[in-house]
């Protein structure tokens, strides 16, 4: 029925038609790839900045939590003079070490502190804690207390005690 010349013509004609139909598809595909590549450079830069910020903020969160843990550790040990070293310099300007110690004269004994979360914005941090105190042999828990910390000029985190 078909000779080899007809079959060859039909195949080449079909190939040309398919090729011509796929040229716009190929061009659109290439355009998408190039635009994604160009856009991807921005995404890579943004991702790098995000990861750097994430890791550096996690380090800062660890430092803020550590300062809060030390501060509350001294409070639980009733070593208020050492705890005073962990309050902000602006708070130390507002009150002396003795003023700080006097704040705890009529306060129940803090027997437990659990740090649940930390959030940092710039040079300030909020630390969410659950606090357990004891009075006359009974313990009471205070949940979701927010302790504020500030990053001092030397890079250390200090507790904001007097507002």
Per-residue pLDDT tens digits for 45-58? 565 555 444 445 88
Per residue in 123-132, pLDDT (tens digit) is 999 999 999 9
Predicted confidence at residue 151, as pLDDT, reads: 96
pLDDT bin (cut points 50, 70, 90) of residue 153 is very high
Q: How far from chain centre, in Å, is Cα 52?
A: 11
Predicted confidence at residue 162, as pLDDT, reads: 87
Q: What's the rounded mean pLDDT across residues 14-26?
A: 64
pTM, two decimals, is 0.65
Q: Which of 124, 143, 123, 125 is nearest to 133 (CA)?
A: 143
Specify the DSSP element, H or E, that contains 123.
Answer: none
Domains and CATH numbers, the chain: 4-159 (3.10.450.100)
């Amino acid at each position: 029925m078909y000779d080899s010349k007809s079959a060859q013509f039909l195949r080449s004609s079909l190939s040309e038609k398919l090729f011509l139909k796929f040229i716009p598809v190929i061009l659109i595909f290439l355009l998408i790839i190039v635009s994604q590549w160009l856009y991807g450079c921005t995404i890579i830069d943004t991702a790098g900045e995000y990861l750097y910020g994430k890791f550096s903020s996690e380090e800062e969160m660890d430092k803020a939590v550590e300062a809060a843990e030390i501060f509350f550790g001294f409070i639980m040990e009733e070593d208020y003079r050492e705890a005073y070293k962990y309050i902000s310099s602006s708070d130390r300007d507002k009150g002396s070490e003795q003023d700080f110690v006097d704040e705890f004269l009529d306060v129940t004994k803090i027997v437990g502190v659990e740090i649940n979360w930390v959030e940092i914005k710039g040079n300030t941090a909020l630390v969410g804690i659950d606090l357990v105190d004891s009075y006359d042999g009974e313990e009471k828990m205070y949940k979701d207390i927010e302790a504020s910390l500030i990053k001092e000029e030397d890079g250390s985190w200090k507790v904001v005690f007097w507002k």
